[in-house]
Amino acid sequence: MSENKTAPAENRSRRSHRGERICEDLSFAAKEAFKRLRTNLIASFPEEEPGCRLVGITSAQPSDGKSTVAIDLAYSLAELEQKVLLIDADMRRSSIHVKAGLEHAPGLSELLDQSDDVRGTIQRYDGRTGVGFDIITAGEPPKNPSERLNSKRMATLLQKLAEAYDYILVDLPPIGAVVDAAAVSKHLDGMLVVVRENACPRGLLAECMSQLRYAGANVLGFVANGAVEGSGKKYQYGKYGYYNDYYY
């Protein structure tokens, strides 16, 4: 990593060509929701403790929208001229490369396997407005993703990358499906849990929280995806909402 806190993705930048709306294509209400989420995330960490913030993003079940939240939050942080890296650690069902219109590999899988070429795996998402951030895609699906993510190599990689960024967001698999997110949480400063409103069973979410607590994860809050506007819930705006405590 360079000493000036940059990790350029030379000749590998590509603007997304995707069907869904993300980043600068979001509605005004959705953009405001992510600004609110960004503000609460920043406030979750003490100002007197400088350094990179490593934040995991997970959910209790698949299809709650955690990957979309991850990429839009990364963009929102980059709007503040923060150096941001998004890592796709959902190596079973990776999707960040599709949403951002980037190459699938090499990525995290290759870094955790044998490659030491960190710069060669970093790609760049460049928005139309000039806002951009770096991405490490998931790479080729490994045979043992849980062991890879729980390895000493993963911990060392995160420490090395933290020298170059203000924020590192790690898109993790759903807690309810596999143990990957809980395993990685010990290397992170905090976790955000994405919940699709009226779609996630209470028992499944409770089990998700139990696993995170058992792993010693620092849960920063919940992001309500698909929230119904005007239902009176805390921090809600448009289709996204932010909760800094848990509602049953």
What CA–CA distance (Å, rounded) separates 26 from 179?
32
- Does a structural domain hold residue 76? yes
Q: What is the CA radius of gyration of the chain?
A: 17
Q: Which residue has the higher pLDDT, 106 or 238?
A: 106
pLDDT of residue 228: 57
- Does a structural domain hold residue 248? no
Strand order in the sheet with 122-126: 122-126, 132-136, 84-88, 167-171, 53-59, 190-196, 219-225, 240-243, 236-237
Query: 99, 71 in Cβ contact below 8 A?
Result: yes
For residue 176, give every residue at least 6 positions away whose Cβ sits within 8 Å of its Cβ, in sequence order, or none: 59, 60, 61, 204, 207, 208
- Does a structural domain hold residue 7? no
| Best CA proximity match to 244, nearest among 37, 45, 67, 30 | 37
Query: What's the pLDDT tens digit per position in 124-140?
Result: 999 888 899 999 999 99
Find the CATH number of the domain harbouring 79.
3.40.50.300
Range in 21-25, 51-55, 72-76 the model is least confident about: 21-25
- Does a structural domain hold residue 5? no
- Does a structural domain hold residue 84? yes
Query: What's the pLDDT tens digit per position in 214-245?
Result: 888 999 999 988 765 544 444 333 344 444 43
Range of the domain at 111: 23-243
- Does a structural domain hold residue 1? no
Q: What is the pTM of this model?
A: 0.84
- Does a structural domain hold residue 16? no
Confidence of residue 117 (pLDDT cuts 50, 70, 90): confident
Tally of structural domains, the chain: 1
Which pairing describes strands 236-237 and 240-243: parallel, antiparallel, or unpaired? antiparallel
- Does a structural domain hold residue 147? yes
Category of 135 on φ-ψ map: left (φ > 0), alpha (ψ -120 to 50) or beta: beta
User: DSSP character for 187?
Assistant: G
